[in-house]
Amino acid sequence: MERENDNRTSAQRYVDILTEAGFKAVFGVEKNKDVLIDLLNVVLPAHRRVTDLAYSTTEVPGFTMSNKSVRLDLRCTGEDGTRFIVEMQCYRQLNFFRRCVEYAAKVYDSGSERGDGHGYDIPPVYFIGLLNTGVPKFDRSDSAIWRDRYVSEYTFREKESHEVVDETIFLIFAELDRFDKELEECVSMADKWFYSLKHVGRMERLPEELKVKVFERLFEACEIARFTPEEKLKYEHDMITERDYTDILDTCRAEGLAEGEAKGRAEGKIEGLAEGEAKGKAEGLAEGKMEVARAMKAKGLGMALIAELTGLSEEEIRKS
């Protein structure tokens, strides 16, 4: 098989889909909707096949308390009206699952605003998250359940019978962060899709094992040389923005938590007791979070995002 070469000196041939910039460059353009449809049909339940899609605006108006809008990674609608939200999750967030529920619920609620007298004839909403990082509240420690299972699904079910009365809101996560198979171990289409998503950005050509139409189209869509000048410029701009954003977060966390831990150790030594040291360190860590929040505010990051990343309330952040 053709393995990726991390030490090559040639320019990168394919985009890294596991970045927000790469994801949008491939799946966010309508000319590649056939590639998106193939991916959706791999992760969606068997009864929910997609044959065609229409791209929708990624903006959901009137979303927040301050009546500002939120912009989703990708939103589209199937032929029968089913709405799909697709996101690439690159960073750990304490409240990621709740955010997904809120986004899906808002899109679901917008389906009842047609004004045609059929207020409850609402098409279902499927939120599909491609996870390149672990979700803090997911527990995958039971290997018997999660061994070789990388797609999880959440919806409204009866507790004992698991009955789903109606299709409403579904959250589906492809947990790419846990997928570690080699290509020769990939048998199912889902395995081959997940392998491709994880490794395409480091490959030089399409491997023999993936030379079928589905993956030929995926690799074509990922090939930077095939981008129009406008697409390439946008991709490069988005990559620079994403690297800068990641560096800001890493720097804020490192500086803030280091200061907090140092303060905790100092206060513990002053009290001279194990209990005092623990208390001092805890207070120091709390102060470290506040330092992170202050640094993020100084960089111009939004209040809601700072709250998600630090675990602090917006009120605490305002007072920082």
Q: Strand 125-131: give its sheet, edge to edge.
A: 53-55, 74-78, 83-89, 125-131, 169-175, 151-154
- Contact predicate 223/23, CB 8 Å: no
Provide the CA 168 distance to its chain's centre, in angstroms.
Answer: 21
Q: What is the DSSP letter of 14?
A: B
Question: What are the residues whose beta carbons fall under 8 Å from the beta carbon of 305, sequence distance 6 or more?
Answer: 296
Please state, in angstroms and rounded to a whole number, the distance separating the CA atoms of residues 86 and 40.
9
pLDDT of residue 163: 96
Q: How many residues does the chain have?
A: 320
pLDDT of residue 263: 63
pLDDT of residue 282: 57
Cα torsion 203, 207, 209, 213 to 10°: value is: 100
CA–CA distances in Å: residue 214 to residues 110, 172, 183, 210, 220 = 33, 21, 16, 8, 10
pLDDT of residue 186: 96
Quote the crossing angle between the two packed helices 229-271 and 274-298, to the nearest 10°: 150
**Residue 235 phi, psi (nearest 5):** -60, -45
pLDDT of residue 67: 40
With 0-12 / 13-18 / 19 or more C-beta atoms within 10 angstroms meaning exposed / middle / buried, residue 129 is buried
Q: What is the pTM of this model?
A: 0.73
pLDDT of residue 83: 94
pLDDT of residue 65: 40
- Contact predicate 132/93, CB 8 Å: no
Please state, in angstroms and rounded to a whole number, the distance separating the CA atoms of residues 106 and 102.
6
Each residue's pLDDT expressed in tens, for the chain with a length of 320 residues: 444 444 433 478 999 998 888 999 999 999 999 999 999 999 999 889 999 999 987 776 555 444 444 566 898 999 999 999 999 888 777 788 998 999 999 999 887 665 555 567 899 999 999 998 888 888 888 778 898 899 999 999 999 999 999 999 999 999 999 999 999 999 999 999 999 999 999 999 999 999 999 999 999 999 999 999 999 988 888 887 777 666 666 666 666 666 666 666 666 555 555 555 455 555 656 766 777 777 777 666 677 777 776 778 888 888 77
